[in-house]
A and B are shown apart, each in its own frame.
Chain A
């Protein structure tokens, strides 16, 4: 579920006050992947822009250029997951078969798919005594929160990133972590979820719920009476009882959770981390991307650049949309096969030109407001990506875009 922070804008605009004339800097993906100091790459953006595919393609390219990579995907297409050998949702990174050139380069690629509930369970198990952990895991309120609370997926993606980073540092198994982010409507959910969870855990309401379990009646104010009465009225007494049991069992873990969230947040601000914002050349996706770019700068998080996915490629040539349309109008009523085909081709060309113009306009408007964001534009591919070859092709396009 998106936060209210998505559109319309609730934060001030961040950027230059006048349009400059600098060209848009090009994002050099290969330089980033070849830099050994680059340890974490986070791909973010609104839903449906191709984040998962982009992160998998980047991870594969890095591995084939000699990095030891682990990629955390959230919800890959079935066939893509199959080709990467990660259909089994077991929350453990597995080697991806058929990665090329690893014998000579020393690179490797492991992949995993996030299991949100399991990650949450593991955190509980690692933080509490076995009996207490069991008590929490069986609580109906915990079960609901861990499997359907809006934001749990975002929070657990961050949690898993923290774990992978710890493993990577301890074992040396990986030197680059690529993270996909959950398919939320707003790209900002990813950054807000941990904050939301810890503010919930820190909230007055939680303290109130804890008060009876702790005994002293001093917190049993008139306000609390009103509140419990109202909560009982809304959700029923059973829920309140379950919640109190959950909160008191969870109480000792809260500190741990907050610390972990804080550590992951710091990890995201560290110099070895880079954010890639992925967007489609559509107004909504670019607006979300702009919010995200501004937010990253506010949080002092390092932005590597913008990947504009699925751009319509310019067919080139001097024929304008208007000229093609007028040719089409002349031919549309002809009946012979060649004329009909030519008419169809002209119409296609006109449509394509119009779409290319619109996308270019959208991109240049983004660039005027955010002139320092290095950008790479990926053409839409004629077919879906569902194997390593497809990912490799995207990786090549990403890498070579800077040269062309």
Chain B
């Protein structure tokens, strides 16, 4: 593959909080991790957060499970690159921290736990969980030099809940409406919403070129817009290799390929028994052409959504650490970071 020069600038220079969502199976956590690396390569100090208790970051980067504490995940060796830190946010710890910070609830905090209130507030009480999770992200984003020992971040990447739930998750205000009309959690939700609706935030949606994920992405964008949340880009992930051009694909689908000519070229490369391989290769080629045709029709639908799109290739070896770095450089080249 040739190496195009990195895009001179990022398409989202003013964005501090990158929220990454996507349908299950589309690789949203992988894209979030790659985006964090890409932003760091632009010289930013980055915090990569997860909120679903899956330890996806630890698995991707092959490190021990992350605690509720910011940890150095990737240290830069190149001049001009920043470091990536990681944080696994869970609602229980966020609530206890929140209580300790604002109410100095030492003893009461323990009593709350004993009475099952922490459990209640974080699993049952609708919306509260999401306010706590987004609230912690907000806290990291708002940190500034006032607090001397706090680390500040140029960018935060949030590996968020899936597309089907993203508008609800971010629209914490709405979720609480009708429940908590006043009170501290309501005002917390208000401040968080202000950040989430500002140009400092961008919500990116990860999809693959298949019918249902594309449909869900279009629905997700519509819901986010209705909730006045700033939509960033659509990242099309797991794009099949583009090895065959249009005319080759058309010939394969029409069955007009010259078997003998292909066999001759194969033989010339030193491959043994070339003619016996031709039917297999052509049938693989036809499958590929058929999928590409489907992808193209879905790609047209993605373009209709009307937001910038970015494409990441399917990695034959899977998304291991080396794969993450490849995806990160693709994101830099295309200007998402």
Contacts and interface: CB of A to CB of B under 8 A. Distances in A.
A191 B182 CA distance: 36
Interface stretch (A56-64, A105-113, A335-343, A395-403): A335-343
Given A148-B168, A205-B116, A327-B266, A223 B111 contact: yes
A235 B271 contact: no
A130 interface: no
A200 B120 contact: yes
Interface stretch (A26-34, A166-174, A253-261, A382-390): A382-390
A148 B175 contact: yes
Interface stretch (A17-25, A96-104, A139-147, A262-270): A139-147
A274 to B, nearest CB: 24
A3 interface: yes
Given A47-B25, A236-B184, A348-B284, A342 B266 contact: yes
A286 to B, nearest CB: 12
Interface in A181-208: 183, 185-186, 196, 200, 203-205, 208
B4 interface: no
A2 B159 CA distance: 14
Given A203-B116, A384-B294, A144 B178 contact: yes
Nearest to A338: B261
Contacts of A185: 24, 52, 54, 162
A345 B262 contact: yes
A337 B247 contact: yes
Contacts of B111: 223, 226-227, 230
Contacts of A65: none
B123 A196 contact: yes
Interface residues of A, number: 88
B180 interface: yes
B116 A204 contact: yes
Interface stretch (B34-42, B208-216, B326-334): B208-216
Q: Which interface residue of B90, B125, B210 has the most chain A CB atoms within 10 A?
A: B125
Contacts of A212: none
Q: Which interface residue of A149, A151, A350 has the most chain B CB atoms within 10 A?
A: A149
Interface string A366-399: 0000000000000000111010000000000000
Contacts of B76: none
A131 to B, nearest CB: 22
Contact of B161 (A1, A205, A235, A352): A1
Interface residues of B, number: 87
Contacts of B165: 1
Interface in B135-175: 161-162, 164-165, 168, 175
A164 interface: no
B31 to A, nearest CB: 14
B59 interface: yes
A141 B179 contact: yes
B316 A327 contact: no
A6 B123 CA distance: 15
A338 B124 contact: no
Contact of A341 (B114, B178, B262, B270): B262
B52 A341 contact: no
Q: Which interface residue of A49, A203, A234, A346 has the most chain B CB atoms within 10 A?
A: A234
A144 B130 CA distance: 13
Contacts of A319: 271, 277, 280
B185 interface: yes
B212 A77 contact: yes
Interface of B is mostly: helix
A299 interface: no
B285 A348 contact: yes
Contacts of B52: 1-2, 185
Contacts of B265: 331, 338-339, 342
A46 B120 contact: no
Interface string B237-281: 000010111011001000001100110011001110100110011
B211 A386 contact: yes
B282 interface: yes
Nearest to A237: B183
Contacts of A151: 123
B105 interface: yes
B117 A230 contact: yes
A378 to B, nearest CB: 15
Contacts of A79: 211
Contacts of B53: 2-4, 6
B317 interface: yes
A365 interface: no
A316 interface: yes
Given A316-B280, A330-B270, A384-B211, 4 more contacts: A150-B129, A200-B124, A231-B117, A338-B258
Interface of A: 1-4, 6-8, 46-49, 75, 77-79, 140-141, 143-145, 147-151, 183, 185-186, 196, 200, 203-205, 208, 223-224, 226-227, 229-239, 242, 280, 282-285, 315-319, 323, 326-327, 330-331, 337-352, 354-355, 358, 382-384, 386
28 contacts: A77-B212, A79-B211, A144-B127, A145-B124, A147-B126, A183-B24, A185-B54, A185-B162, A200-B124, A230-B103, A233-B103, A236-B182, A236-B185, A239-B125, A283-B318, A315-B280, A327-B266, A337-B247, A341-B248, A342-B281, A344-B245, A344-B248, A345-B282, A346-B281, A347-B243, A348-B288, A354-B317, A386-B211
